[in-house]
Structure 1
Amino acid sequence: MSTVLDTTAQAPGVPAPVRTGLRWNNRYAQLGPAYVTALAPQSLPATHPPYWVGQSRAVGDWLGLAPDWTTSEDLLAALTGNAPLVGSAPVATVYSGHQFGVWAGQLGDGRALLLGEVQGETDSGLEIQLKGAGRTPYSRMGDGRAVLRSSIREFLASEAMHALGVPTTRALCVTGSDAPVRRETVETAAVVTRVAPSFIRFGHFEHFASREQFDELRVLADYVIDRYYPECRTTDAYQGNAYAALLAAVSERTAVLLAHWQAVGFCHGVMNTDNMSILGLTLDYGPYQFLDGYDPGHICNHSDTQGRYAYARQPNVAYWNLHALAQALMPLIEDETLAQAAVDVYRERFPLELDLRYRAKLGLRTEQADDRPLLEATLRLLAGERTDYTIFWRRLSQHVAASVRGASEAQALRDLFIDTAPFDAWLGRYETRLSQENQPDSAHTMLSVNPKFVLRNWLGEQAIRRAREQDQSGVARLLALLERPHDEHPGHEAEAGFPPDWASSIEISCSS
């Protein structure tokens, strides 16, 4: 399956199609022109040739690419949009949505192109998408380009979240070019190759419902059910209503997703309905952030002036978004009671999933009645001094592991707090509860769920600054840490340390 050029005859000046050996299907494009617009990527100027910025060999293996793909100049051109891929059928998809709680009308893939769907090594189908490959009919006066800064952030975040066990889209690679792109300042162009079983969003359903295109809405819902939720056809729940069952299944996956986000300290930053995956994946990494100090009210998006998407509000926003999806599906469900019951699956499942993850973070492998108050007390303790979230959990894990060896690392944990009295009281309460567990098992669990490394903004910023100077080593080194975030990685203590003072000046917005 090595990457070779297709020798089919072609028009003069048109790049030769690149053959990858991938088996393409392109099922979503086959839904027709109501759903997609067929168009090719826009090539970057020949005066600014592409170059590799970052590559995920793990995603390449997932897709079934040949091992030499990372050195292929032909594939580099194709994944920048400068040459077609044999078998692909590029389209931009149309959707609508609510942005910051306000109906925004028609949106769509303004800078993304779905190349098609391929048969992966272990999956029934994986969609491949280029983000930043030029203007589409849905660009809304934009240039359709992505910049190096945001592309590196999305590439690294996609792979970091996957390694943390969080449901997410993936990223095969980032390619860069010196072609200028104007944002707040003049930056350089880049393209992210994204991979997921599907990029369908809540907004795809909202689009057809808002236009009263109910036949198209039904076709879309049937496609999603048959491809991704076939059990909805056979369930007896919801009076056998497959569309209500679909809504319930999406609600359940969304609950699991939000529990992952909250437990790992991830702030999405722009939870618009057009950024919500129908498969419960983390979708569209823009102004995201992993918490530094624990602040429930933290707002990571500089554009979010009202704090709608603050960290602690994310779970309720997801519930609101599910109501928007329910409203879009009502012409198919036709029963408000069934629809509300399906959405309420989220309210029932989310606290259970969140408790499950926090018990694991605390090493509590059994469940007891007073665990919830202990979890709440832990978060109050952290919020009191805005204690570094990731470092606290990692040091707590190391303290429990040391206790198994008959040692103690409590002082390193205590040093995180200025006022140690509340901490000492909490630690006594926690260790009493932990004594009821098998502590070697607890330590193992904690070290496997409380990462040493997360993609802090300042780490990403360092890699971006080097990449702007044509030094891609920072991206590669950071990716290696984030792909195995629970390992110790000797020699990389700085990347697991406290943010430097300058990190607080980093601002991320919807253009990030």
Structure 2
Amino acid sequence: MPGPTGHHGVSMSDASTPTRTAGDHPLDTLDWHNAGAALGAPYYTPQAPSPIAAPYPVLLNDEVARLIGLDGADLRRAGYAEVLSGNQLPQGAAPVSHRYGGHQFGVWAGQLGDGRAITLGDIQRADGKAFDIQLKGAGQTPYSRFADGRAVLRSTIREYLASEALAHLDIPTTRALAIVGSDAPIRRETIETAAILTRVAPSLVRFGSFEMLFYDQDFEALAPLADAVISAHHPEIAAIETPTERYRAWAGRVITLTAELIADWQAVGFCHGVLNTDNMSVLGLTLDYGPFGFMDSFQPDWVCNHTDAGGRYAYNQQPQVGLWNLGRFVQAILPLLAEEPDDAVQIGQDMLQTYRGAYDAAYMRRMRAKLGLAEAHDDDRALVESLFKVMAADGADFTRTFRGLCHVGHAADGNDSAFVDEFVDVDAARQWLVDWRARLAHETDDEATRQAGMRGVNPKYILRNYLAQQAIEQAQAGDYSELERLHEVLKAPFDEQPEHAAYAELPPDWARGLVLSCSA
């Protein structure tokens, strides 16, 4: 029976297997290493994408193309939709799906795995740096359970924009190379159209990758996966000859990277939304964008995911959740830390004790920079907390408040309005400025240097939910111009961009009711 017909007049029924490219596509020229396929079971399963009917280009990221050694213009000329939809496989690629488990909302969920993501393989640049190239929404895998293995345009656009927004905020993240669309109907809460995101990252290994092996009691399988991560991404740790010392050094690095990442999120008001252990990267990357959100009005206990009824993953809970998740990760790799179980437990507990200090130090470095403080003083935390208290009382906008402070001078003058106008209680805001200026008296940087430094860490532009929603609605109608425009704005979040000032304004009233869930 023929399938439904899309706007290209092609049957929507999926073909059976993808074809190989003819050898003249730019993606064929990449140096495919395919470490996942080489590792094989129990970590990876060979899995070709499921071809989809009539894929078409939506958006290509020239910057990420350059990151992996390609030219965006060449990709456009060659046509990237067939390959980056999974309909054709690059020569040299060996696609796999990754097996992992995870704790979801604090409960062990068992085997999860790549239910709709297929890694074409990993490539290596001329300088030796490696990247996984993955198609998200490329069809069913052995880990799809009862799901369809597809993604929709709505969620694909959100991940594309969010990952690129964080990248340009200098926050570690997976990257987005391309979006390919199809008119194939996908059922979520309503019928939507399909899309495939090409995701690029140094590695997509997660905490849950090791948890799965631990809960299977497949302890012999822990070391090969750890060694693969260490050798590819931590050569200085790989040089440590004693295995237990090498794994301890690596675990310590994972703890530090996680602390630094969450401090990054807190400093820009970013909420991940679903910090399950299967969504935590061992490289400290922001991974798996579901119901994320950048905070508008400051609320310490803000929850961006309306399915998180208990607020487990609220903004102010993210630092503690990071530690809890690290506890699950360290538990999973205990057999690598020492030969005697009791010794391994003690070593793991001692290592986890370092997290809070690492996080606090990373967080305060970022907050001092946001306030224009080059030196560390004991009362700096109190100054930060007093600002957040005033912001919370008024629901002052997180991003605009800090950006407004960038324009305030050492002495009270007309520029104070850039900051105090964000508050209802102007007197409280002015009193905080008195305390802040008293603290500035201990700094040595001149005003111009301080303000320039603050503008370099306090973004003017973030991916607000309503901006993403507007781009999505236009794209769903076949107009990608707003998606492209918003992407360009987010590439320079610290610049003034006066021609795009409207993107920095407070959300309109209609946007305050926007809610997000785990639906993708």
**TM-score > 0.5, shorter chain as reference:** yes
Report if the CA contact (8 A) 1:201-1:274 is conserved: yes
In 1, the alpha carbon distance for the partners of 2:79 and 2:451 equals 48
Could you say what the CA RMSD is over the residues aligned between the two structures, in angstroms?
2.0
Pairing partner for 2:370 from 361, 366, 375: 361
User: Are 2:64 and 1:59 aligned?
Assistant: yes
Question: CA 1:505 to 1:69, structure 2 compared with 1: closer, same or farther past 3 Å?
Answer: farther
Report if the CA contact (8 A) 1:63-1:121 is conserved: no
Give the equivalent residue in structure 1 for 2:279.
275
In 2, the alpha carbon distance for the partners of 1:179 and 1:239 equals 50
TM-score normalised by the chain length of structure 1: 0.93
Matched residue SS, 1:77: helix
User: Are 2:382 and 1:373 aligned?
Assistant: yes
Pairing partner for 1:433 from 434, 439, 443: 439
User: Are 2:236 and 1:231 aligned?
Assistant: yes
Within 5 Å, give how 1:401-412 maps onto structure 2: 408-412=414-418
1:213 positional shift? 0.7
Matched residue SS, 2:498: coil
User: Are 2:505 and 1:479 aligned?
Assistant: no
Report if the CA contact (8 A) 2:17-2:51 is conserved: no
In 2, the alpha carbon distance for the partners of 1:239 and 1:26 equals 25
What amino acid does structure 1 have at the position aligned with 2:96?
Answer: V
1:175 positional shift? 1.1
Report if the CA contact (8 A) 1:466-1:472 is conserved: yes
What amino acid does structure 1 have at the position aligned with 2:31?
Answer: R
In 2, the alpha carbon distance for the partners of 1:53 and 1:239 equals 47
Pairing partner for 2:398 from 384, 389, 392: 389
Give the equivalent residue in structure 1 for 2:267.
263
In 2, the alpha carbon distance for the partners of 1:413 and 1:136 equals 51
Please list the CA deviations of residues 61-94 of structure 1 after superposition, one character each: whole Å capped at 9, or x if unmatched.
Answer: 1111134245245421110111111111100010
In 1, the alpha carbon distance for the partners of 2:200 and 2:452 equals 32
1:51 positional shift? 1.9
Pairing partner for 2:322 from 311, 314, 318: 318
Report if the CA contact (8 A) 1:69-1:75 is conserved: no
What amino acid does structure 2 have at the position aligned with 1:408?
Answer: G
Pairing partner for 1:44 from 52, 60, 80: 52
1:122 positional shift? 5.2
What amino acid does structure 1 have at the position aligned with 2:459?
Answer: P
Report if the CA contact (8 A) 1:358-1:375 is conserved: yes
In 2, the alpha carbon distance for the partners of 1:475 and 1:233 equals 42
Question: CA 1:13 to 1:44, structure 2 compared with 1: closer, same or farther past 3 Å?
Answer: closer
Report if the CA contact (8 A) 2:244-2:337 is conserved: no
Within 5 Å, give how 1:400-479 maps onto structure 2: 400=409, 408-437=414-443, 438=445, 439-479=447-487
In 2, the alpha carbon distance for the partners of 1:134 and 1:222 equals 30
In 1, the alpha carbon distance for the partners of 2:129 and 2:181 equals 30
In 2, the alpha carbon distance for the partners of 1:190 and 1:411 equals 45
User: Are 2:305 and 1:297 aligned?
Assistant: no
1:148 positional shift? 0.3
Pairing partner for 1:206 from 211, 227, 234: 211
Report if the CA contact (8 A) 2:116-2:138 is conserved: yes
1:13 positional shift? 9.5
Please list the CA deviations of residues 220-246 of structure 1 after superposition, one character each: whole Å capped at 9, or x if unmatched.
Answer: 11222222233335569x996222222
Give the equivalent residue in structure 2 for 1:4.
none
User: Are 2:112 and 1:104 aligned?
Assistant: no
Q: Can you give the 5+ residue segments of structure 1 that lack an aligned partner in the other structure?
A: 1-10
Give the equivalent residue in structure 2 for 1:114.
119
What amino acid does structure 1 have at the position aligned with 2:136?
Answer: K
Pairing partner for 2:348 from 321, 324, 339: 339
User: Are 2:194 and 1:189 aligned?
Assistant: yes
In 2, the alpha carbon distance for the partners of 1:295 and 1:36 equals 41
1:120 positional shift? 2.9
User: Are 2:257 and 1:253 aligned?
Assistant: yes
Matched residue SS, 2:59: strand
Give the equivalent residue in structure 2 for 1:6.
none
Question: CA 1:289 to 1:122, structure 2 compared with 1: closer, same or farther past 3 Å?
Answer: farther
Please list the CA deviations of residues 350-390 of structure 1 after superposition, one character each: whole Å capped at 9, or x if unmatched.
Answer: 00000000000000011122212111111111111111000
User: Are 2:220 and 1:215 aligned?
Assistant: yes
Aligned residues: 495
1:255 positional shift? 0.5
Give the equivalent residue in structure 1 for 2:502.
494
